[in-house]
Amino acid sequence: MTGRREGGAVAVLTEETLTDAERAAVESVPDGLFIGGRWRPATATMPVVDPASGRQLRTVADATPEEGMAALDAAAAAQSAWARTPARERSDILMRAHRLLLDDADRLALIATLEMGKPLAEARGEVTYAAEFFRWFAEEAVRLDGGYMPAPGGGSRFLVTKQPVGPSLLITPWNFPMAMGARKIGPALAAGCTCVVKPAEQTPLCTLALAEILDRAGVPSGVVNVVTTSDPGGLMTPLILDPRSRKLSFTGSTAVGKVLLEQCARTVMRTSMELGGNAPFLVFEDADLDAAVEGALAAKMRNIGQACTAANRFFVHRDVATDFAERLTARMAQLPLGPGTEPGVVVGPLIDADAVAKVTELVADARARGARVLLGGETVDGPGNFYPATVLTDVSDDALICHTEVFGPVACLTTFDTEDEALDRANDTPYGLVGYVYTESLRRGLRVCEALDTGMVGLNQGVVSNPAAPFGGVKESGLGREGGLVGIDEFLEIKYIGVPL
C-alpha cells in the first residue's frame, strides 16, 4: 500500500490487493474454530476487513451457539486434569508461549495492523506487551500461597488454600486483540483454569494466531478454546447461563458490561470487568510543559486514541493553557496519517465507519457549544476509516465529548484556576479508570493522585499499562484487576479448612 501524507490528510490507496508479505501473514492464521485441541471448520464464515481500505482480508469461522457450547464442553472436560497439573508445568507452557510470541513478532504485528489498523511500530509493541503477560503469569503460577494459623479460641487450626475457579469465559476487545488475549489467558492458565475465548468480530485473526501459538507451546487439548462469531450475544449468553461456567472476564464498553453482569448474576458467576473510561489529564502551572506535551501525545494518540486509557479531557491551568495548546497542536500536526503498514505513519484508520461517524458527531457537538478547532476537525476523502489528529480548545463541560469515550485522535482542552476546581471537574463522571497529572510538586502530585476517583494514575507519565501493575478502574469503569500480583487472584477461589487438634 502506498501514499502517506503529512499533517492530517490520507492518500488514496493505489493497490487493491494484498502484497505477498501481507497475504502470507493473513493466510498463515488458521481460519477455523479451536475446540478441544483441534481446528475444526464452522457451519458459516464471516469476513475480516482491513479498516485502512475496506477490502476483505479473508474469511474465518462464524460460530453458532451450538459450536460455542461445544467449546464449553471441551473446557469443562479438561478442567479437572488441568487443575491438577503441577504449577511448574503450567509455568513452563506459558514461558514457551512467551518465547514463541517474541520469535514471531514481525508476522503477528503485520496481522494486527492489517485487521485493526494501528501502525506497525505500535503493533510490534503490542506483541511484546502480550508476550510479557505470559512471562509474568508464568512466574506467578509457581508462587500461589495460602495460610496457617491457630484458632483464636484454641482447639483447631485454620488452613487456607487457593484453587482454580473453574472454566472461564474470556471476551476480548478489538483495540488490543493480541495483548488483551494474553492478559486474560495468561492468569487463567497460571491459576489452573480452562477457558473459552471469544474475540471481537472485527479482529479475530490475532486471537486465532494466539491459539495456534499456545497449541505449539504445549497447552493440553481443551484447556484453551477459541470461538469467533458475528453474533456475540447469541453465542455467549447460553455459555454465561450454563452453571459449568464459573468466571467471566470481559473488556469492552460499560453498556455491554452491565448487560453481562446481569446475566452473570443468575448463576452468581465470578466476574472481572474492564470497562469504559473518561480519563482526565491535569496540567498544573508548575508542570514541565515539554514533558506534559509528550505525555499528552502518549496518553491521547496511543492506538489512534482507541484505548480505554486514552486521555479524554485535558484540564490545563489558565497560566499555561495557551502555551500548552500551541505546543500540543504543533506536535499533533506533525503526525503522519495513513495506512498502518506505511513507514512512519502514526495515525492509522479507526476501526470502522461507525467509529468515524461517532467522532465526527462529537466534534460537531463540541463546536456547536463554542469549542474552537486548532487542528483537524474534518473528515478526509479517500478509502478507509480515517479521521485526522484534532485539537479542540475552549471545550464546554456540557459538550457530549466530555461525557463520552471519544475513541479517536481528538484532544479536548479546557482551563482551570484552582486545584479544587480541577479535581471537582475531573471527578465529575461516572467513569474512573485512569487519570494523568503533570506537576513538579511532589506534595501536590501525591495529593491530587490520591484525590482522583480512578483506579490508576499516571504522575508525570502518559502510559500506565504494565503487566506487573494492577490494571483496572472504579465506579462504572469496572470490577477487579488484571496484571500485577493480584491479577491471578481473579481466577482463584479461597478455601478455608478447619482442622481440630
> Which residue has 463541560 as its cell numbers?
397
Which residues, in sequence order, are CB contacts of 418 under 8 Å at separation 6+? Answer: none
What CA–CA distance (Å, rounded) separates 306 from 378? 18
pLDDT on residue 57: 96
pTM over 0.85: yes
Annotated catalytic residues are 274, 308
d(CA 82, CA 85): 5
In sequence order, which residues have a C-beta less than 8 Å from that of residue 296 and are 6 or more positions away?
Answer: 281, 283, 311, 314, 328, 411, 462
* Residue 10, pLDDT score: 35
Backbone torsions φ then ψ of 490, nearest 5 degrees: -65, -20
The residue among 324, 239, 195, 252 whose CA lies nearest residue 67 is: 239
Among candidates 313, 170, 188, which has minimal Cα distance to 250? Answer: 170
End-to-end CA distance of the chain: 74
Cell representation of residue 45: 464464515
pLDDT at residue number 17: 79
How far CA 279 is from CA of 5, 126, 316, 398, in Å, comes to 30, 21, 14, 16
Regions in the chain scoring below 70 on pLDDT: 1-16
Query: What's the pLDDT at 16?
Result: 53
What element of type H or E holds 92?
Answer: helix 87-103
Residues 86/112, Cβ–Cβ less than 8 Å:
no
The identity of residue 409, as a single letter, is: P
Q: How many helices (H) and strands (E) would you count in the chain?
A: 14, 22
Return the pLDDT at 363.
Answer: 98
52 phi and psi angles, rounded to 5 deg: -80, -20
**Residue 468 in grid coordinates:** 506487573
Residue corresponding to grid cell 494486527: 112
Residues 263, 266, 271, 273: is their CA dihedral positive or negative? Answer: positive
Residue 251 bridge partners (DSSP): 274
Q: Are 336 and 346 in contact, with CB atoms under 8 Å apart?
A: yes
For residue 3, what pLDDT is reported? Answer: 39
